Amino acid sequence: MSAPTARERAYAELKRRILQNEAPPGSQYLESALAESLGVSRTPVREAAIRLAKEGLVEIRPRHGIFVLPLSARDMAEIYELLTELESLAARRVAALKPGPRELAELEQATEEMARALKDDDLEGWAAADARFHDGLVALCGNRRLQEAYATYRDQAQRARMLTLRLRPKPVQSMKDHAALLKALKRGDAEAAASCHRQHRERAGKLLTDLLRSLGMD
């Protein structure tokens, strides 16, 4: 495997900073400053910024640099509406494929990791395992365009999820939802899988948007 290019490194690191809120919503950076912090020239930074702008994470402002787009409850409501539809369809498709233990191993492992993290009050660990569960579900559905659309909206929602991680109730209900979905997938019950996951995502979306409103991000 070849080493990542300067453009790929700049993109990956800038995206990481944005999704982890190290580059918080509303912040602005000059290309030259970012290039220096990343140890690359300005061209890879500019190319990375163009890609991030297409993903809805930044805005490029001529002569003013790169602006990290703000978060709002309205934006998250729209994003979660789309995530709900995409993931419910993915759940339906996966169940219809009647997956076996081998196909569901990644989801089972993620569920176990979530349970351990929750027991240890490790919310960051729980969030990482939760993300792997959702990514794994969509990866199994077999629809490449659905996967690409999901990835875009997932990344846009990630900043809000991490910002509110310690403001939410302990995610006990989320654990129950994942367990119920796994049972439906094992039965090959497409309708139950889609319905279960739709309710899960709708609850998550409402919780997140309510928290953003409580923070004045409306």
Strand 28-29 relative to strand 65-68, pairing: antiparallel
- Is the pLDDT confidence value at 104 over 70? yes
Q: Using DSSP, state whether 68 is helix, strand or coil.
A: strand
pLDDT digits (tens, 9 = 90+) for 194-206: 999 999 999 999 9
How far apart CA 176 and CA 165 sit, in angstroms, is 18
User: pLDDT value at position 63?
Assistant: 85
How far apart CA 51 and CA 46 sit, in angstroms, is 9
- Is the pLDDT confidence value at 181 over 90? yes
Report helix angle 42-54 to 6-19, nearest 10. Answer: 50
How many helices and strands in the chain, by DSSP H and E?
9, 3
Residue type, 88: S
Strand 28-29 relative to strand 58-61, pairing: unpaired
pLDDT digits (tens, 9 = 90+) for 54-74: 998 999 998 889 999 998 999
User: pLDDT value at position 1?
Assistant: 62
DSSP of 71-116, one letter per residue?
P-HHHHHHHHHHHHHHHHHHHHHHHHT---HHHHHHHHHHHHHHHH
pLDDT digits (tens, 9 = 90+) for 141-180: 999 999 999 999 999 898 999 889 999 999 999 999 999 9
User: pLDDT value at position 138?
Assistant: 98
Residue type, 56: G
The candidate with the shortest Cα–Cα distance to 79, out of 168, 138, 152, is: 152
The candidate with the shortest Cα–Cα distance to 93, out of 133, 142, 151, is: 142
User: pLDDT value at position 116?
Assistant: 97
The candidate with the shortest Cα–Cα distance to 155, out of 72, 14, 57, is: 57
- Is the pLDDT confidence value at 3 over 90? no
